[in-house]
A = this chain, B = another copy of it.
């Protein structure tokens, strides 16, 4: 491993995946990609926080139902979310009664779970991992900004936290789509203090992780069909592409941002685009993984970005550091080794 970049000696199968979303997500351009759309934004629960827990439970149940008959349950859950102390995961996945490691990676959590799971499955000690994450617009607004009933105005640079969740079952046995490598991000602080512009805060981390990985692998953007960022939105994506150009990386039409794919910004009130752990998680599980499975895409990089702020750190005037974890996914498993990192 060099500066966080690694190639897996044994590629890991992304064996099953599911996405669940809320009403607004169901009305968006990817509405048909979800396994389940729940029109009730409370998911039948009393509070927004419990609603997010139920959302996470639903996506886990959805992916577990896709396992073949008599397949074993996953050995370990890797999950986290944006709620204080990650209560959506803690409460939501409690009914599964499986060994559980909690993660905190803000909106990078899906890729943290994917890459961490991929590394753990190299150990030979466990055969499968369930990686889950979620976000809920109403829970996140109350926690990071204001309760919705206050009717606060939003900045044009702000992003809409997706009410969505994604779940993957990773297996040590080879399957496609496969995780073949990745890059663990380093916390990156460019001094952005505007907590209503998280795309700007996360773009430098995304660029840094991409440059680190491509250098370590000796690859260029041309080697990939898509380079997907988590949820930089319109502002962050433009900054990301500019930072990449300065590094000599011209992503041209290869770049896609989950925050821009999930909604139709012309028709839906999402300002600079989508965000939240569930944004990339659901777009990956609902769109990109199926595209790889159908061999319409062959090799992609997905970069999950997280803004490492809290309401308290913002109120105290601190910067918004970013982090970005990267995963390389392939629609086939190379028998020839691609070189170590």
Contacts and interface: CB of A to CB of B under 8 A. Distances in A.
Given A119-B120, A120-B120, A99 B309 contact: no
A84 B122 contact: no
Interface string A173-192: 00000000001111101000
Contacts of A310: 83-85, 87
B126 A1 contact: yes
Contact of A85 (B8, B76, B82, B90): B82
B100 A186 contact: yes
B85 A6 contact: no
B80 A104 contact: yes
Contacts of A1: 75-76, 99, 125-126
B101 A321 contact: no
Contact of A119 (B100, B123, B187, B311): B123
Nearest to A212: B99
A308 interface: yes
Q: Is the interface of A mostly helix, strand, loop or mixed?
A: mixed
Contacts of A102: 80, 103-105, 112, 308, 323
B100 A47 contact: no
A316 interface: yes
Nearest to A323: B100
A321 B90 contact: yes
Nearest to A112: B101
B186 A124 contact: no
Contacts of A84: 84-85, 143, 310-312
Given A4-B76, A103-B104, A122-B122, A309 B85 contact: yes
A85 B306 CA distance: 11
Contact of A87 (B83, B105, B119, B313): B313
Interface of A: 1, 3-4, 6, 8-9, 46-47, 49-50, 75-76, 80, 82-87, 90-91, 93-94, 97-106, 112, 116, 119-120, 122-126, 143, 183-187, 189, 308-313, 316, 318, 321, 323
A18 to B, nearest CB: 21
Most chain B C-beta atoms within 10 Å of own C-beta, residue among A46, A102, A313 = A102
27 contacts: A1-B99, A3-B99, A6-B125, A8-B125, A47-B316, A50-B318, A80-B104, A83-B310, A84-B85, A84-B143, A84-B312, A85-B106, A85-B309, A85-B310, A85-B313, A86-B104, A87-B310, A91-B313, A91-B321, A94-B187, A99-B186, A100-B185, A100-B323, A102-B104, A103-B104, A119-B120, A119-B126
Nearest to A92: B187
A186 B75 CA distance: 11
A69 to B, nearest CB: 22
